[in-house]
Amino acid sequence: MPTLTPSAATSTPSEPTRLPQLEVADELLTLLRDTTTEPRPDTQLEALTLAVAADLPVLLWGEPGIGKTAALTQLAAALDLPLTTVIASVHEPSDFSGLPVLGDDPAEQGVPMAPPDWAVRLVRAGRGLLFLDELSTAPPAVQAGLLRLVLERRIGALRLPPAVRIVAAANPRSSAADGWELSPPLANRFVHLQWTHDHEVVVRGLGGTWPRATLPRLAPEKLPEAVDFARRAVCGLLSARPGLVHRLPSGETRRGGAWPSPRSWEMTLCLIAFATAAGSSREVLSLLVRGTVGDGPGLELLASLDRMDLPDPEVVLADPAGAALPERGDLRQAVLDGVVAAVRKRPERSRWDAAWALLVRAVETGAPDLVVVPATTLATLRREDWEVPASIERLAGVVTLSRRADRAAARTAVGAKAGR
């Protein structure tokens, strides 16, 4: 029987090595930060990446805590761009215009304006994402200092490389710390995007999976067509609505947002071309256009874009049986009204008959009530020697029923007023 030595008899099993508590905390924090990304449709994120690809300064507006900074951090990581964050409100105007540095002979050589260290780092890297955070807390003097940086990419005598993109974030004045309204010159240099949180995105992100930001895929074969389409769209609207070329809002708050000017229309043209080449959705294009020239002019432009794709009334009159009518009611109505207007401009028997054939086809393939007004107008264009086409009888019931409905609605409205 073996005997135990004193040392062996008193030994105890080895205990696990205890880590310092801060190291354990750091390990837990690492696990919490361990997240992944996934491709997921996100209109806001797609609009942001499209504007970044177009090399236009973007300003994200949103309440505190909804993830503006996190979105920019993730965007920089996804695009493999070094992120440089600058809090505008804690800087002096000279930090953006350049700091004067006296040389050996200022009277002969002048006083050069030295750039800050973060600008030098961006130039050395040759690329990057410059994030101007808390822009609405910057006082007017600092905003003035930012004008040349945002538009010309210059800080003192230093020019940022073309591969540096600029994105800013701001809270509305009501929720900003000592907030200021943006000055009109600075506001007009940005594409303004309203940033809101999506419940599903937040929940899935807190679970460890966030949407992935990717640059839009531009189709090389569509580039010339996209540029032509964008120019026709903007120039066509401004030719018909010259008052929209420059319209400075009267209110201070609205001046700090998106409004139309030759500069912002040039940005809009660029964004339409990029969105067309990338095949972006109407929702994305709407965010970008309204964020550049404002809601009113932006919606007018979007409406004119829809009508640019409408068929030529003369082409429709030449072949009414083969005409492709839009599915959307407002666009279909525009086609029918355009055809009737073309017949009014050049009234001929064959064109009048072709218009009736188109109205019959519209009734058979869509909402019948859309043909009531065009049919009534077309009937007034008949000449005495023109025979009534047999196809009109197929529309008679639709027009009569619509008129009865209008009369019934009018009687109901009169009765409601009398009962008050």
Task: Give the pLDDT confidence of 172-223 residue by residue, as tens digits.
Answer: 866 655 678 889 999 999 999 999 888 888 888 888 888 887 888 999 999 9
Domain coordinates in residue numbering, the chain: 36-99+112-211, 220-308, 313-418
Which of the four pLDDT bands, split at 50, 70 and 90, describes residue 277? very high
Residue whose C-alpha is closest to residue 184's, from 282, 253, 83, 279: 253
Q: What is the model's pLDDT at position 122? A: 92
**How far apart, in whole angstroms, are the C-alpha atoms of residue 95 and residue 88?**
9
Q: Which two tokens stand for residue 276?
A: 């067309």
Residue whose C-alpha is closest to residue 143's, from 103, 175, 180: 180
Q: Which of 12-16, 86-90, 243-247, 338-342 has the lowest mean pLDDT?
A: 12-16
CA angle 162, 165, 200 (to 5 degrees): 150
Residue identified by tokens 């859309």 is 370
**How far apart, in whole angstroms, are the C-alpha atoms of residue 120 and residue 108?**
26
Give the other-Cβ count within 10 Å of 415's Cβ: 9
Arithmetic mean of pLDDT, 379-391: 81
Reported as a single tens digit per residue, the pLDDT across 306-335 is 887 788 888 889 988 888 888 888 888 888
Arithmetic mean of pLDDT, 145-153: 89
Q: Which two tokens stand for residue 273?
A: 């071309």
**How far apart, in whole angstroms, are the C-alpha atoms of residue 34 and residue 208?**
7
Q: Are 146 and 176 in contact (CB under 8 A)?
A: no
What CATH architecture does domain 36-99+112-211 belong to?
3-Layer(aba) Sandwich (3.40)
